[in-house]
Structure 1
């Protein structure tokens, strides 16, 4: 009995976990070959689960970018609102702030992540310069809006760094698909074959575990077959509906 080659990475990880739990119960320390197989199984299963988890981790870079974009627009709109009022000393001060904003433009929110970050950081340095304290004070809430932008920019950069690090980690390690195949091959070609052979030679030590392994594989293969059948039925239904519409 072999694990179905159509088994998903999660199916394979589940089988690996079940076998690790069983090995703790059916440990045969004097059998070094058997023990070595499970050392390899334990290592591959752990790597597979880690790979699956890395692939499933949600990175909130897009959400963080949307927040900083909103903060950028808030700064521009607040300054524009002050500049569009009747001429007075506060408006003159606001116009000096606007002159800085015009060098960057609100369209920085449409730049690539890297270019937007560079422009936001440069803009914040210019806008928060000590010599512009009076100009900032002339615009209600501007200092608070700039603080919000500084915070959301920092949050984005942290999220972006995590994304880059995860991408590098994935490139350094095997994919979940490759690890699932390694685990499947180890169980099919080494563990299963060995247990079936030893179950006949030493049934008191190996037969029960060999039987449990067969059951685990059978249950998995049935689950995989049921899933594939459901996918096929769904595909046929969609095709039938398409034909009816035509």
Structure 2
């Protein structure tokens, strides 16, 4: 039985461990306290790994939402700055009016601690949609669309923050994802594979079915990993 490739990604290691644990539950192996303890340890570490992956994913998702919100804010600022140099006095005045509102908040708002950001952004958005701002907003092509996009991005960010904080409070992850991945891989490679290889020689009737399925699970993962590593990367 081959070992699990150590450069398998976190999700793949999690999947392999999950499959092994599920298969073990259906085996007829009994009275092997050592193997049972080994699978229990694998299951516990796999659970932590799965939670850590989910937590890291929500954190990355939150970062994406922050970047998207900031992108629309910068776009609105640049749009107003551009129109403020327009030769048409009406357009120029409208752009300056938009700029005046933005300048009360500006890009500096992205550097504030997060709890203050929603109120600052929502205050700015509220100012931009005041009735006395409508003529100015409508005078600048693309301005109303950017404000709408900024508003939607801010709402998505606030929801992402709520989801992130909820997961953070529910799941206490003490170890890093990479450390947990290594621990799960070590249990599979240095304990389970070694033990099953030996026991299949000693008692093939008892351990053969489980051992062969574990071998297939690992082999499937390794083949997929080899294929993934050979795939060329294309620049976007």
Aligned to 2:87: 85
**Secondary structure, aligned partner of 1:57:** helix
Greater displacement, 54-63 / 67-76: 54-63
Aligned to 1:20: 21
User: What do the CA deviations read for 1:200-230 (whole angstroms, capped 9, x no partner)?
Assistant: 8xx58646479779x96xx99xx9xxxxxxx
Number of residues of Structure 1 aligned to a counterpart in Structure 2: 212
- Report if the CA contact (8 A) 1:16-1:42 is conserved: yes
CA radius of gyration, larger in: 1
The yes-or-no answer on 1:124 pairing with 2:145 is no
Which has the bigger relative contact order, CA under 8 A and spacing at least 6?
2
Structure 1 residues 128 and 42: alpha-carbon distance in aligned structure 2, compared to 1, 3 A threshold: same
How do 1:1-246 and structure 2 match up within 5 A?
16-17=17-18, 19-20=20-21, 22-24=23-25, 26-28=27-29, 31=31, 37=37, 40=40, 43-44=43-44, 46-51=46-51, 53-54=53-54, 57=57, 59-80=60-81, 81-82=83-84, 84-88=86-90, 91-105=92-106, 107-108=107-108, 110-112=110-112, 114=114, 115-172=116-173, 177=179, 206=206, 208=208
CA-based RMSD of the aligned residues comes to: 5.0
Q: TM-score, normalised by structure 2?
A: 0.56
Q: Give the C-alpha shift of residue 79 in structure 1.
A: 3.0
Aligned equivalents of 2:13 and 2:146: distance in 1? Answer: 50
Structure 1 residues 209 and 184: alpha-carbon distance in aligned structure 2, compared to 1, 3 A threshold: farther
Q: Give the C-alpha shift of residue 125 in structure 1.
A: 0.8
Q: TM-score, normalised by structure 1?
A: 0.55
**Secondary structure, aligned partner of 1:26:** coil
Structure 1 residues 8 and 148: alpha-carbon distance in aligned structure 2, compared to 1, 3 A threshold: closer
